A and B are shown apart, each in its own frame.
Chain A
Amino acid sequence: MTGYDEIAFDDRMATVEFRVGERAHIVVDSEVCRSCTTQACVTACPANLFAPTSDGGILFNYEQCFECGTCYQVCNGEGALSWSYPDGGQGVVFRHG
């Protein structure tokens, strides 16, 4: 093997600063997700914020979001996502980028 230890996902996310705002800037309508055939957001979101639930819906937490837009680009369900940027100064803060 290469001798490279792959980092755990939580540790990976812990390298990023988030100034979490009160308002959820992205809201997922799990009702729509239940009839979504791809659930593409689950694997595509680089922050891994979309968790499938046992009833076929989606559990979403906006707090560690990169504000990248991948989810709404790949979303398969009309009206499932309401997407906006966090309020000024809040959300992700890249220290290197």
Chain B
Amino acid sequence: MSYDVVVVGAGPAGSAAALAAARAGLSVVLLERGPFPGSKNAYGGVVYGRVLDDVLPGWWDEVPVQRWVTRRSTMILTGHQALTVDFRTSDWGQAPYNGCTTFRADFDGWLAGKAVEAGAQLLTSTVATGLLREGGRVVGVRTDRPDGDLRARIVVAADGVNSFLAKEAGLLPKTDAAHTTLGVKEVLALPREVIDERFGVRGLEGVDVEILGCTRGIPGGGFVYTNRDTVSVGVVVSVQHLAAAKVRPEELVADLKAHPAIAPWVRGAEVKEYTAHLIPEGGYDAMPELHADGLLVTGDAAGMCLAAGIWLEGVNFALGSGLAAGRAAAQAIAAGDVSRAGLACYRKDLESSFVLQDHKRLRRAPGLVLSERVQQRYPGLIADLVQDLFTVTNPTPKPGALRLLRAAAKRNGVKLRHLAADGLAAGRTFR
């Protein structure tokens, strides 16, 4: 069989690419190795869907939402302390919304359905086992179906974090443990009213909590997200440091659930599902070449997940880059040039959109948030400082804030000049 475009992977990037290419009138086949889209995929999760505004107007009326995030917190934990910055706004509870919790088994299937409506053909339970090449150019993929090969003018590799296609094309290194994190998550069942009450929400309002300092010093962080009648709790940690620490990942989730600040939220909950998945966290500086002759790489396969440390935006970047890949395929085919040069419009498009602009701006964020001081020292420093500020010492007069800061820094092994330097770096990173 021969198509204009073969898209490998029906995650958000692949379905978005297939949607855009099919809308442009191309013949598109979308391959997914799982029995249904989403069956192999796990994430935190919150989807920030505004990138769909132009392609699927009113997407919020149909997206398989669990809850709309109207409350977002960042927490800093030590073994016995917790400091939370907590924000809520009713603006995020109405159209056009900001983010929703949703399960990948639901969301990925919904989006793949949109690609099919646009004319793409979805083939599930099909593994792309390799690239078909002629004279160095990619001209299709091999599959594990009986009739095997699928030829195409352009192959879109949307096969996620382990992208064997991008590796085969020589664009990605075989392993990259330094830029890869492992996420493990539990979905915990609780009655809906109990979730509403414990998290202070009602209706479809939901909560998104990112947590620093809960991973035994292993670079990473934790999260808690509310769904309708489940709560998702998990951690994301550097695979390299996890391996070196000889800690089992599920123990970190157990630690988190047992923390005095988290335990009251999940008490009595039953584990519905345990999942694990990798994340490419290298950001802009670790991104591969995004295209080759006859090949476009998109989503996590291209390292597009924006990970400013513990704040993960992967689905929206997969959607943004996937749509761009679909458009680029259409443009190149229309121009009759699917070579590397003809596909260069893909990178240009990404550079002019949030995808590469945000990545470029935040290129230092993963390094900073996952750095040793931020991970191992600052949570304790900040928590100690706040505890000292809030502890009423009568009859001893109140010590000055600067003295407390010095003492907290010393106790946590931080030099003030390093604190100042990191503060400046943070200012530059997130400017």
Contacts and interface: CB of A to CB of B under 8 A. Distances in A.
Interface of A: 1-4, 6-7, 9, 11-13, 15-16, 19, 38, 40, 43-44, 46-48, 66-70, 72-75, 85-89, 91-97
Interface in B25-46: 33-35, 38-43
B243 A74 contact: yes
B144 A94 contact: no
A93 B276 contact: no
A68 B277 contact: yes
Contacts of B39: 92-94, 97
A87 B128 CA distance: 10
A86 to B, nearest CB: 8
Contacts of B145: 88
B57 to A, nearest CB: 27
Contacts of A97: 38-39, 41-43, 103-105, 273, 275
B299 to A, nearest CB: 15
B263 A3 contact: yes
B271 A87 contact: no
> A3, A13, A38, A73: which has the most chain B beta carbons within 10 Å?
A73
B184 interface: yes
Which 4 pairs show the lowest CB-CB distances between chains A and B?
A89-B125, A97-B104, A46-B276, A40-B243
Contacts of B254: 6
Contacts of A67: 40
Interface string B373-406: 0000000000000000000000000000000000
Contacts of B247: 43
A37 to B, nearest CB: 12
A9 B251 CA distance: 10
Interface in B4-36: 33-35
30 contacts: A2-B267, A3-B267, A4-B267, A6-B254, A12-B271, A43-B243, A44-B242, A44-B243, A46-B182, A46-B250, A47-B276, A48-B248, A66-B275, A68-B182, A68-B277, A69-B278, A70-B276, A73-B175, A73-B240, A73-B278, A85-B33, A85-B164, A88-B144, A89-B33, A92-B40, A93-B34, A93-B39, A94-B273, A96-B272, A97-B104
Nearest to B249: A46
B257 A4 contact: yes
A93 B240 CA distance: 26
For the complex, would chain B's binding face be called helix, strand, loop or mixed by DSSP majority? mixed
Nearest to A12: B274
Contact of A94 (B105, B186, B271): B105
A16 to B, nearest CB: 6
Contacts of B33: 85-86, 88-89
B412 to A, nearest CB: 25
A94 B42 contact: yes
B271 A15 contact: yes
Contacts of B164: 85
Given A73-B175, A94-B40, A94-B41, A38 B182 contact: no
B67 to A, nearest CB: 14
A6 B253 CA distance: 10
A74 to B, nearest CB: 4
